[in-house]
Amino acid sequence: MVWFLLLHMAALLIWAAALLYIPIMVGASPETPPDIDKKPKPYDSVGRFLFTQVATPAALAAIITGTIVFLLNRTVDPWLIMKLTLVTALAMAHTMAGVIVLRAEQEGKRRYIRILSGILLVVLCLLMTAIVWFVLAKPSMEWLPMEWLP
Ligand code: HEM
């Protein structure tokens, strides 16, 4: 089990790093990139590579290894349910990172890209902090109605 937990933590660290870097990279790049930065195929950006070849595979690896740990551990505590609810929100924020990469690639679609990147970065930081807090602090959460659990 410990090996799956280690794989889980390695995958989530790569996922988190790639996901945080995308809005920073898109938000910090010039709204009208200099000619030297213009690519023959606009959809061939570094942001797209990070999203498709790093963040998304790492997300899948983190989810698969986390699920294996969950099945081996048979943990159904309230904190894990809260954690997985936040992980679902993180997966939605992940898709938003894809949206800003697409907008950054399209010439006329870069308006507000800095604001969107900034908002996404704040949401990602809050979600990741909350997820790690729940999994490490494991709060009892007596207020959560749990009678429906087996
Ligand atoms: C569907 C996705 C996921 C599932 C099913 C899952 C499940 C689990 C389970 C069952 C554990 C063992 C907890 C224990 O009993 O101590 C664990 C550990 C952990 N998870 Fe996840 N997880 C998922 C995604 C994530 C994500 C996205 C993050 C962070 C952004 C994360 C952060 C952690 C951390 C830091 C630990 C280690 C806690 C420790 O040191 O004991 N997990 N995960």
33-89 pLDDT, tens digit per residue, is: 666 555 566 677 889 999 999 999 999 999 999 999 989 988 788 899 999 999 999
Q: What is the SS3 assignment for 52? A: helix
pLDDT for the residue 146? 63
- Quick one: average pLDDT of 96-118? 87
- C-alpha closest to that of 16 among 61, 80, 70, 46: 61
Helix residue ranges per DSSP H, 38-150: 46-49, 56-73, 78-105, 113-137
Judge if the beta carbon of residue 12 lies within 6 A of ligand 1. Answer: yes
Q: Which two tokens stand for residue 138?
A: 């494991």
Domain residue ranges of the chain, discontinuous segments joined by +: 2-27+46-137
> What pTM does this model have?
0.88
Judge if the beta carbon of residue 67 lies within 6 A of ligand 1. Answer: yes
Phi, psi of 39 (to 5 degrees): -100, 150
The residue contributing the CA closest to ligand 1 atom 8 is 66
109-123 pLDDT, tens digit per residue, is: 777 888 999 999 999
